[in-house]
Amino acid sequence: MPVTRPALPPRYATPEPIAAGGMGEVYRATDATLGRTVAVKVLSGRWAGHDEFNARFLREARTAANLSGEPHVISIYDVSETADGLPFIVMEYARHGTVGDRLERGAVPPEQGLPWLEQAGRELDSAHGRGVVHRDVKPANLLIADDETIRVSDFGIARAADQDTLTEVGSVLGSVGYMAPEQARGEPTSPASDRYALACVAFELLTGRRPFERESQAAEAAAHAHEAPPSIHHLEPSLPAALDAVFARGLAKAPEQRYPTCGPCTVRPRTPAWVGGCWWWQARWDCSRPVESQHGRSAGSTANREGRPPSSRRRWRVTSAPSSSPKPRKA
């Protein structure tokens, strides 16, 4: 079956489809003028003539362009229309796919996932400071750049806090698996809604599954609204039980009960890790120093259950969230 390609300007040559979403399709193309590969997002033809969707798509372009240039936000290069009048956005191409693609292989190792959460959290905080709520934070909207860092993308259903809401009262925009309870009810969203979604992403990165994963979208949305978060320690016993309290707050039903920001984040071996807007845990990855086991033996003295050498085992240290930022050490 032949592939239908959009009527892009000749500058964007050989467009090939690589993804599709609720509002449009994404193509990989070659910018013949600058000689680089780009991603081109074109409003879906089924929305042609729908003024509301055209306006929303153009609002995405403006919002994304205002944030473009930040270290971990996808760069926007051009905004225009096809020959048949469909708006399109030309943006940075991330050849390594998305965090969602990576999660298809299972949970992501903490030493890789923690920096990704840090980078996404920083950019969400920056957007919130400008009055922008993303409203669709999920692994598929976290793109992986050539240097293995994250680019936050698709502010397609974002709204500026000082503008009118993009949708009528009671309508819902977002992805069910990561949607805050207030968003699922069609109520106004806030930065706390993005922080809830980032906590869902963090849960999935560490366990390989969404916190309220169900067989249907309706059941999953209901679980977000009414059920307590599952024990992450129960699902992944290698993670410390103290993380249960962390995710209980990160996934709190009431926005005001969640952590206040998505950062600041600093994730380094043997140092505290700020993740998802809180002092979530002190993660220590120690491949050299033996750790005393619960039975009084050095945990480095035997191989672990999975048969890996003792030196490759993960060491976690968890602390409660402090009431304020840590005080700097005296010299």
**Nearest residue to 122 via CA among 246, 249, 266:** 266
**Nearest residue to 312 via CA among 283, 291, 287:** 287
In angstroms, rounded to a whole number, what is the distance separating the alpha carbons of residues 110 and 49?
Answer: 46
Q: Which residues contact 172 (CB under 8 A, 6 or more apart)?
A: 179, 183, 184, 186
Whether residue 228 contacts residue 99, with contact meaning beta carbons closer than 8 Å, is answered with: no
| Pairing of β 24-31 and β 12-20 | antiparallel
**35 vs 13, 74, 93, 114, 297, CA distance in Å?**
10, 19, 13, 34, 60
pLDDT of the residue at 156: 55
pLDDT of the residue at 174: 61
DSSP characters over 102-142: HHTTSPPPHHHHHHHHHHHHHHHHHHHHTTEE-S--SGGGE
pLDDT of the residue at 22: 65
Whether residue 209 contacts residue 201, with contact meaning beta carbons closer than 8 Å, is answered with: no
**Nearest residue to 260 via CA among 277, 241, 242:** 277
In angstroms, rounded to a whole number, what is the distance separating the alpha carbons of residues 138 and 161?
Answer: 21
Extents of the domains making up the chain:
12-92, 99-258
* Average pLDDT along the chain: 76
At 243, list the tokens.
């993380």
List 84, 101, 136, 154, catalytic entry: 136
Low-confidence ranges of the chain (pLDDT < 50): 160-172, 264-331
pLDDT of the residue at 250: 92
In angstroms, rounded to a whole number, what is the distance separating the alpha carbons of residues 321 and 272?
Answer: 11
Q: Which residues contact 23 (CB under 8 A, 6 or more apart)?
A: 43, 44, 47, 53, 56, 57, 60, 156
Helix (H) / strand (E) element for 26: namely: strand 24-31
- 12-92: CATH number: 3.30.200.20
Read off the pLDDT of residues 171-229 as tens digits, 9 standing for 90 and up.
445 688 999 999 888 888 899 999 999 999 999 999 999 999 999 989 999 999 999 99
Could you tell me which residues are beta bridge partners of residue 164? Answer: none
At 12, list the tokens.
């964007």
At 183, list the tokens.
């968003």
In angstroms, rounded to a whole number, what is the distance separating the alpha carbons of residues 302 and 307?
Answer: 9
Q: Which amino acid is at 312?
A: S
Read off the pLDDT of residues 214-232 as tens digits, 9 standing for 90 and up.
999 899 999 999 999 999 9
pLDDT of the residue at 267: 31
Question: Would residue 136 show up in a list of annotated catalytic residues for this protein?
Answer: yes
pLDDT of the residue at 162: 41
- What is the CATH topology of the domain spanning 99-258? Transferase(Phosphotransferase); domain 1 (1.10.510)
In angstroms, rounded to a whole number, what is the distance separating the alpha carbons of residues 252 and 257?
Answer: 6
The pTM of this model reads 0.76
